[in-house]
């Protein structure tokens, strides 16, 4: 089903919901009811009795009962006076009608199944035929201010889910439940990965030892892949004079998102919202010969964006964003090779975690050349280069016309996680704008200045956001190389402490991360606490193990195995090394 069709179904269902609500609550005032990503909602003013969650199934039944009569949508244009009369007493609709009139637009009402609503259209033609009665479901009730403004009255929002079929609806509900169980905010706390402090502020995560370890391992992995293909680390401050962003053009574009500072001497500074302008200043420190190109600079560093409090969510949207950022400064004839290297890193990195990667090629819009820098020839050849490069990797990108940045085409990657959700992850972006603005060049074979290009090449992008995806992807059950606790050691009784400690010390010698569970509680509780770390291996040590000098190792899947220490160490080290 195409995307528009589904949106039309959802919008139609908002009408159907409105009719059902009016049936149960004749005094209710309808306001606005749009389609949304997973269904629809309708914001309704209930002057007297309000429906509770328990009434949703009743309303849903009424919707299903009414649906067969919804055979055809008709619409007509009405005058302002007619509209005012139709919606008399509903101050919300009257406000909307006034606004339509003020914009000089036509006022339309849509009718189906005997129910009429103020509407701009966008429905399916024959709802009874086109909407499966089991493909939607009322979901929940929430409060919502009229038009999202807290100065306005609070309305009741009824959410519904709607998909192409019952199967898709069920799959979505299952995925959502699964996602809820995996919620990174919940798991982050349980696994003690990060915390927030009211004194520090929202959107500013504080990373605990275990969370920091995870971040460092991920960043180390990216660095390992980068180092092999000639990247070097550079280090930059988190602030800059305003002048840098005036020159880069970011000041105009991002002014409102910047944390801005006025120094004691009255100078205007800003915290960096990205790293490229700083990196250009390192490149620009000296003159480069073509023999020295490319230069590849990587920095894992935080950028800051003044997000609105309401937009912040766990690690998915934060104010302090750690980027594993890198920029390649190269000649035009080096672009294909350099982008190819980044492509391989992205594939290897996301592949290691079992994400399915879908590349997307964002192209210029030939009908709108004035929106882009450079001639169409240059664009076509740059795009063809990227296309060939991806094909050589044995992949077929989805091509999206008009999605390129104004200064160059880009490759975006979507990653599908373990419960089927898709996330926009890495982006490889070609940039001829920044080198132009900062006058970056190398001296070529003819001894002349040659304008270079930049490639933006973050792999994780925001480490915070990537961590949120990763935690949910693994439901906290990280592979051994990433697990903050790799081996949980539980001793059965006090007198097994020496053996337990000797085991721990042998593991630690090999840098295997352990946690000892010897608290003064019941054995059951100790084992439970050990497993709660989500360690891939839990070792319970009792008389038998002490006597036989072996280990009983339990994996996450519950399988148990008796094994000698040296074999266990050998296996776990192999597993860590292979990142499996």
The nearer residue to a second copy, 156 or 433, going by C-beta atoms, is 433
Options 117, 137, 323, 473, the catalytic residue: 323
Q: Tell how strand 422-431 and strand 410-416 pair up.
A: antiparallel
The nearer residue to a second copy, 277 or 409, going by C-beta atoms, is 277
Smallest gap from residue 259 Cβ to a second copy (A): 5
Copy the structure tokens of residue 46: 């209930």
The nearer residue to a second copy, 103 or 291, going by C-beta atoms, is 291
Q: Is 112 marked active-site? A: no
CA atoms of 277 and 245, how far apart (whole Å)? 7
Smallest gap from residue 295 Cβ to a second copy (A): 8
Q: Is 183 marked active-site? A: no
The nearer residue to a second copy, 170 or 306, going by C-beta atoms, is 306
Smallest gap from residue 406 Cβ to a second copy (A): 22
Q: Is 327 marked active-site? A: yes
The nearer residue to a second copy, 153 or 201, going by C-beta atoms, is 201
Q: Angle at CA 391, nearest 5°, toward 389 and 392?
A: 65
Smallest gap from residue 237 Cβ to a second copy (A): 4
Smallest gap from residue 496 Cβ to a second copy (A): 17
The nearer residue to a second copy, 309 or 559, going by C-beta atoms, is 309
Options 93, 296, 319, 410, the catalytic residue: 410
Smallest gap from residue 266 Cβ to a second copy (A): 11
DSSP string, 26-83: TT-EEEE--EETTEEEEEEE-SS----GGGHHHHHHHHHHHGGG----EEEEE-HHHH
Smallest gap from residue 422 Cβ to a second copy (A): 28
Options 250, 296, 319, 327, the catalytic residue: 327
Beta carbons within 8 Å of 211's beta carbon, 6+ residues apart: 188, 192, 193, 194, 467, 484
Distances (CA, A) of 425 to 85, 349, 411, 413, 414: 51, 11, 11, 6, 6
Q: Is 330 marked active-site? A: no
Copy the structure tokens of residue 345: 């890193």
Distance of CA 391 to the CA centre of its chain: 27
Beta carbons within 8 Å of 68's beta carbon, 6+ residues apart: 128
The nearer residue to a second copy, 330 or 390, going by C-beta atoms, is 330
Please check whether residue 70 is in contact with residue 62, taking contact to mean a CB–CB distance below 8 angstroms: no
Q: Is 305 marked active-site? A: yes
Q: Is 233 marked active-site? A: no
Binding site for a second copy (CB under 8 A): 192, 195, 197-201, 204-209, 211-213, 215-216, 232-241, 243-244, 247, 256, 259-265, 267, 269, 271, 277-278, 281-282, 284-286, 291, 297, 302, 304, 306, 308-309, 319-320, 322, 519
Distance of CA 174 to the CA centre of its chain: 20
Copy the structure tokens of residue 559: 């399988």
Q: Angle at CA 491, nearest 5°, toward 485 and 492?
A: 140
Options 305, 319, 465, 526, the catalytic residue: 305
Q: Is 325 marked active-site? A: yes
Tell me the HSE value of 363 on the side-chain side, using a 13 A CA sphere: 20
What b/e readout covers 312-335, taking b as 16+ CB neighbours within 10 angstroms? bebbbbbbbbbbbbbbbbbbbebb
Options 456, 496, 526, 534, the catalytic residue: 456
Provide the annotated active-site residues.
Answer: 276, 305, 323, 325, 327, 410, 456
């Amino acid at each position: 089903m195409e995307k528009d069709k589904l949106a039309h179904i959802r919008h139609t269902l908002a009408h159907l919901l409105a009719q059902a609500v009016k049936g149960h609550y004749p005094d209710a005032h309808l306001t606005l009811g749009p389609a949304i990503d997973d269904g629809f909602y309708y914001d309704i003013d209930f002057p007297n009795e309000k429906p509770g969650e328990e009434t949703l199934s009743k309303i849903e039944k009424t919707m299903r009962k009414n649906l067969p009569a919804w055979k055809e949508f008709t619409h007509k244009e009405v005058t302002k006076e007619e509209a005012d009369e139709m919606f008399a007493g509903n101050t919300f609709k009257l406000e909307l009608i006034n606004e339509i009139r003020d914009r000089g637009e036509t006022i339309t009402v849509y009718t189906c199944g005997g129910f009429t609503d103020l509407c701009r259209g966008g429905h399916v033609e024959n709802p009874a035929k086109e909407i499966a009665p089991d493909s939607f479901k009322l979901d929940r009730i929430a409060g919502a201010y009229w038009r999202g403004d807290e100065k306005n009255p609070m309305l009741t929002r009824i959410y519904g889910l709607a998909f192409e079929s019952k199967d898709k609806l069920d799959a979505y509900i299952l995925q959502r439940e699964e996602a809820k169980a995996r919620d990174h905010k919940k798991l982050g706390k349980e696994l003690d990965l990060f915390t927030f402090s009211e004194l520090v502020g929202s959107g500013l995560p504080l990373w605990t030892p275990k969370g920091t370890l995870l971040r460092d391992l991920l960043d180390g992995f990216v660095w390992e892949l980068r180092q092999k293909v000639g990247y070097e680390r550079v280090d930059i401050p988190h602030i800059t004079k305003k002048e840098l962003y005036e020159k880069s053009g970011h000041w105009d574009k991002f002014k409102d998102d910047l944390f801005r500072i006025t120094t004691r001497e009255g100078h205007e500074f800003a915290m960096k919202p990205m790293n490229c302008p700083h990196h250009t200043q390192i490149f620009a420190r000296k003159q480069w010969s073509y023999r020295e190109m490319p230069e590849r600079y990587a920095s894992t560093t935080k950028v800051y964006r003044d997000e609105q409090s309401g937009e912040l969510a766990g690690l998915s949207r934060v104010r302090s964003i750690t980027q594993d950022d890198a920029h390649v400064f190269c000649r035009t004839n080096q672009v294909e090779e350099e982008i190819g290297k980044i492509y391989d890193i992205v594939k290897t990195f996301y592949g290691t975690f079992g994400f399915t990667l879908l590349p997307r090629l964002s192209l210029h819009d030939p009908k709108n050349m004035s929106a882009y820098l450079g001639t169409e020839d240059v664009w076509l050849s740059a795009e063809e280069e990227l296309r060939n490069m991806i094909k050589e990797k044995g992949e077929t990108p989805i091509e999206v016309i008009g999605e390129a940045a104004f200064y160059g085409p880009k490759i975006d990657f979507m990653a599908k996680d373990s419960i089927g959700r898709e996330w926009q992850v890495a982006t490889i972006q070609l940039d001829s704008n920044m080198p132009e603005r900062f006058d970056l060049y190398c001296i070529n074979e003819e001894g002349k200045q040659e304008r270079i290009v930049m490639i933006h090449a973050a792999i994780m992008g925001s480490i915070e956001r990537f961590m949120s995806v990763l935690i949910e992807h693994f439901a906290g059950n990280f592979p051994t190389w990433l697990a903050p606790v790799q081996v949980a050691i539980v001793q059965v009784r006090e007198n097994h402490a020496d053996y337990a400690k000797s085991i721990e010390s042998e593991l630690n010698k090999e840098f295997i991360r352990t946690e000892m569970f010897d608290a003064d509680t019941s054995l059951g509780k100790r084992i439970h606490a050990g497993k709660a770390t989500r360690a891939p291996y839990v070792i319970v040590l009792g008389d038998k193990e002490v006597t036989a000098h072996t280990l009983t190792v339990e994996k996450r899947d519950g399988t148990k195995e008796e094994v000698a220490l040296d074999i266990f160490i050998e296996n776990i080290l192999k597993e860590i090394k292979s990142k499996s």
